[in-house]
Amino acid sequence: MAKAKNLANTAPELSVIVPIFNEEESIKPLCERLLSVLDEMGKAFEVIFVNDGSSDNSMPLLREAASGRDELKIVNFRRNYGQTAATMAGIDHASGEVIIPIDADLQNDPADIPRLLEKLEEGFDVVSGWRKERQDAAIRRNFVSRLANRLISKISGVHLHDYGCTLKAYKKDVVKGIRLYGEMHRFIPIYATWMGAKVCEIPVQHHARQFGQSKYGLERIAKVLLDLMVVKFLDRHMVKPIYVFGGIGLASFCASFLSAIWMFWLKFFDNTSMIQTPLPLVVTMTFLVGVMCILLGLLAEMIVRTYFESQGRSPYLVRETVNMEQE
């Protein structure tokens, strides 16, 4: 215990993030398991609980736990914003060089944290947990999850077995610049890979839920798929959106031009009245769609440039420099 008190006064090496939403039964055993593992590791750490607008007794229990250990910290939301926002808040408030999110429902095992850190020390930037022996409903959760994971891997090009596992380890410099919205917390390994990070996956333990019930339903699948579309679009067209909108616009102009040629051929060589064919309408509509897409592309280009300049960001990321003078 004396060793834990001494470490509490040093800058944390490790930040554990725990989103909380109506988990009053799990808080005490979770704190005991986390502190047992983290104290044994001998590293300075902090545990950031993000209370996501819980309506039960979670917040008083968190205050009670934090009163006895300085390493236990709390971010209390005014209302429920969802797991992605809670994870983002934890990352924003984290001080450690390594950030590890973990579920509060006791299904993730804190005993796997040292194994994640060992893998990071091998040179990886992100270590993702894989619930290989998942203790959930076979069809409602397991089958749907496997199908979704295969789809995400196929579309993103980042092949992981289990995107939905909260237990992961990130180096701080990989995640600090990432902003998360919707249900995008599960896509952090994809963002990290696009930033040049080295990502790997290891099997972790998974336990059956002991208290309460899952906060997720099947409707989450649609949200995940829509978020995946956004992520894929941002990956391919974030810097040059004119390519996608302009491409559609040029295709529409070509369709309009070909339709016009066909229309005039029917008019002058086949003596077909223009009121007998929909081609005039097709020519007009495809031309207008082309104009609108080009304008949208130009507007998107202006927005992207405004975004990068206003945030002081560049459209590239540097891993390191050699023999370069620091300004």
Q: For the segment 151-207, what is each residue's pLDDT rounded down to a tens digit?
A: 888 888 888 988 889 999 999 988 877 888 777 888 899 888 888 889 999 999 988
As given in the structure block, the two tokens for residue 31 are: 């704190």
Q: Is the pLDDT of residue 306 over 50?
A: yes
d(CA 108, CA 162): 13
Q: pLDDT per residue over 199-249, tens digit each?
A: 999 999 988 777 766 655 556 667 777 777 777 777 777 778 888 899 999
Q: Are 200 and 126 in contact (CB under 8 A)?
A: yes
d(CA 228, CA 225): 5
Mean pLDDT of the 6-23 span: 84
Q: Is the pLDDT of residue 314 over 70?
A: no
- At residue 320, what is the residue type? E
Give the per-residue pLDDT at 111.
94
Average pLDDT of the chain is 85
Question: pLDDT band at 60, cuts 50/70/90?
Answer: very high
- At residue 164, what is the residue type? G
- At residue 200, what is the residue type? C
d(CA 52, CA 84): 10
d(CA 65, CA 283): 69
Give the per-residue pLDDT at 2.
47
Sequence-ordered strand ranges (E) for 102-256:
126-130, 168-171, 199-203
